[in-house]
Structure 1
Amino acid sequence: MRPLRVLVVEDDPDDVILMTLELRRGGFEPEVYRVESLEELREALEAREWDILLSDYLLPGFTASEVLKAVQETGLDIPFIVLSGSVGEQYGVEMMRAGARDYFPKDRITRLPVAVTRELAEAEARRARRRADTERTLLVQVGEVLSAPLDFEQWMARLVRLPVPAVADCCAIFLDEGEHGLRLAALAHQEPEAQRLGLEQRARLSPEASLGPAHVLRTGVPELLSEASERKDSLGEDPAHVRLLRTLHLRSVLYVALYGHHGALGVLALGTTGQRRLGSEDVSLAQELSRRVSLVLENARLFQEMQEAVRLRDEFLTVAAHELRTPLTTLQLQLGTLAHRARRESAAPDFAERLDRCQRQVRRLGSLVEGLLDVSRLASGQMVLQPERVDLTELVSEVVDRHAAEAQGARCPVRFEGKPGLLGQWDRLRVDQAVSSLLSNALKFGSGQPVEVTVSGVGPMARVEVRDRGIGIPPEQLERIFERFERAVSSRSYGGLGLGLYLARRAAEAHGGHVWAEARPGGGATFTLELPRESAEVHA
């Protein structure tokens, strides 16, 4: 016999007895509850769940149309069948158009078991479709959270809101804190006051409890408490758990463990209140949800750790660069004094040449230190530009002259072309650094080949192009080489920190311009710097 919860709207008890007998003949074990008024109907709908609703058409003071409307107002999907002893077929057609599932006269009550069986199956199919749609939408939303640029706490707060109220009335995440137990880290509840009170508790659950989140975390097996109040003796082992359930007014609870690549992360909890209850069909959804939530939480933690690592690195770069500046400055002054004395006292050419090489290397080291400082300033948003009126052709010419010794050492003849008078409002130091980075890059990777540097005006932009015939750049690396500490070749073969092109692009973008690279046919590369010629207030 199949259990069946039947709500009957009927003023004749004898008709109810006939309905009950027919349902039993049809293989059901009906639990029948009769109401005679709309008020009693609403109370019964609120008090518990029903599998089927049967109603006479004409009742004292109201009709089945009003019964149907009252049911529809609740939003419940309960199959509604109208049985009438005196009303014609046209009324039955109207009722079915309004939402009733079936209609037939009471003298054909033998049809009742077949109609109920059919409507129960269709109701289950509708629920399954709605559930599948809800689950699909929920899992997609979890994936969207994964791609959102949030911090760890924001990720958790969004995750627990997703299942409420579509899947459950309450959702919580407990995080594993080792010997300190599980801590309530995030909570969403359809009742704002219950959510507030639950979060105020910030429950920390005992790691030794034999039931609930701690037990699920230890075993990895989902735990469903369809009627949490019936397990009060076992729940009593953990007073914090009991207090939380009471605060949240939870009737049923489902716990599923959250696991990452390195072990347990915590527990996901779904709960319901009132007449709503979780069942075995909810376990598979909760497990799939826990897998995706675990992925989000693990990525959130990795993102948090990465941010902390970047912060520590930037702090180290700032401190290291400042610490290196003082001895470098002293060394530059000492070498300058020695070079001046060597020229004054006509020292041996070999000695003067060695001093010159030492000075170049110290200047190179100073440039690397300044690059590290610039990176740390950019990371903290502290690099402010100081624009002034600059002749770009004159500035680039100075950069080319300054790199003459480097070009000679690299056996790269540098050809410069540009007309004077290409003016703009730029930060001279930053533009000088950007052009120096492009030229040094060309001399480093184009060793033994000519390098061409041209300055021109292209509409409202001023353009500097540096062309080399060196090793070239793979197409997939053309953008990556402008990132911090990135390069297209091994640092063992070519020195440097991989900061020059990054700083050049940041300086150009701060001016409202751009830097890009292109591979040249036959080998080599062209690096282009464009800056707006109009005056503008600029900052990094």
Structure 2
Amino acid sequence: MVPLVLGERRLGVINLVLFTPGRRYTEQETKYAEELARRVSFVVEHARLYREAQGALRARDTSLALLEAFLAASPVGMGFLDRELRYVHVNPVLATINGKTREEHLGRTVHEVLPELERSTHVEALLRGVMESGEPLLNRENVVPARPDIPPRPVRTSFFPVKVDGETLGVGVTVLDTTEEKRVEGGLRFLAEATTRLSSSLDLRATLESTARVVAEQLADYCLVDVRSEDGQRLERMAVAARQPGTSPHLEEAMRMAPPPRPGSPLWEVLKSGRPWLLSEVTEAMLDTAASQDEHLRVLRELRPRSVMMVPLIARERTLGVLTVLSLETARRYTERDLGFLEDLAWRAALAVDNATLFQQAARAVEARDEFVAIATHELRTPLSALSLQLVSLQRAVDAGNMPTPERLKQSLVMAQRQTERLEQLVNHLLDVSRISTGRLELELEEVDLSEVVRRLVMRFEEKLAEAGCVAVVDADAPVRARVDRLRVEQVLMNLLSNAMKYAPGQPVELSVARQGTEAVLGVRDYGPGISPEAQARVFERYQRASGRHSRESLGLGLYVARQLARAHGGELSVESTPGQGSLFRLRLPLG
């Protein structure tokens, strides 16, 4: 046995065996065996070292491959410059930010790769300072200058020394493209400013015009604002704005061309669905489809939109209108990101529009209230004054011992009674409005023959009908029974009959009662001047009074109270009228 020894390390043993009887190793053979063992020890050691070296190389290659993959996949630009401040390594992101290939970086200085950046920020001096001081320089805000086909890019840069065993080998660089971050910051800043601008006025038109201008400044070459009309059946183009002032003639034409309500119109689909609409690229065929008429098509072609977005203006779960933006730039196509930004801006605009609308409504309500108070004061004072004069006159006659004649006393009492009835009617209207507004209107229901109610009412009004020169024509022969509040139904009919005598003196008044299915229908027709279609929509509203000589003869509450009483019964009060041909009021009441 010959040991395998290298230095002080025992590597193994060589076994030499003789099978010849009586044969023994000679001294020379033993020396040969020891020499062989020594050389084998060297070979074994070299093989071991080779295996270890191969493993270390494989581990190094794996580490380099992982590092290379990490740098390539990093969303941050990363690079390394040697002691001479020449690029040794650049990952793809940094190459893209700098607008040069990786090969165009390697072996070159920053000045050679980006001379514009070096001249503006003196990067090499900063890198040399980091390498000499050994201290990092973190989060510096810079801008990579614009180059052909590459816009300028805001970046955040950090420099740090790279050391091994205390020796500085160069400088590492990380560069983060902050374009998206700056865009978001700018968008939020703009939205904050826009909110302030949109809220600066409570005038509806001023708010809409401000909305159009704000959107045009940020997103659009053109911006159009269409608002739903009060009846909800059409759109009104309330505001337009252009980024470039030279386009105003086309906008003035577009202002006059609010789209008609027709199926398939993108504008009306957005209004109806409450969902936004994005068209990244507009074609000529799409313009033909969107145009409502030849003149509209001509204006659209002159505007030359390339990309379009439409978003609804929604506030308090109501779609108030539609905001439309158009881009004229061939290179600019709106994206989902632009649509999201416009929706955020439209939400703020809708709140401002809703606030302006509510303010206008409140202003009109205050104006109507003030007018009503003035009218109510006048109307209440009139019967009170007449009643007071009658009483004062009678009191003076009695005090003077000059008793009025029976005929004079009767006239005074009749006059006082009329003024009292007028005063009572006005007060009752006010009380009814209060009960309706607070939900405290109560009905005392009973089985009533409506035909009898109408006949008795006409009998009570005989004298007043005669004074007005009106003849009542009653079609209420068949009994029509319903469960109603008799006094409240009489109140409605008295109001309708009084209006007929007031607005159509000297003309017949027709009253009818009929059964239609499960309803009783009571009609009051006059042959007066009639009511215009526009006024018919408002005639049942509070404080709505006639124009002309009757404008100061009522509180504008009679028909409002009458309709509310009809609805409290589960019925309805409506009107049909043609100007110049009189009016027909229909009171529908359930029979049960």
Q: TM-score, normalised by structure 2?
A: 0.41
Q: TM-score, normalised by structure 1?
A: 0.44
Highest CA radius of gyration, 1 or 2? 2
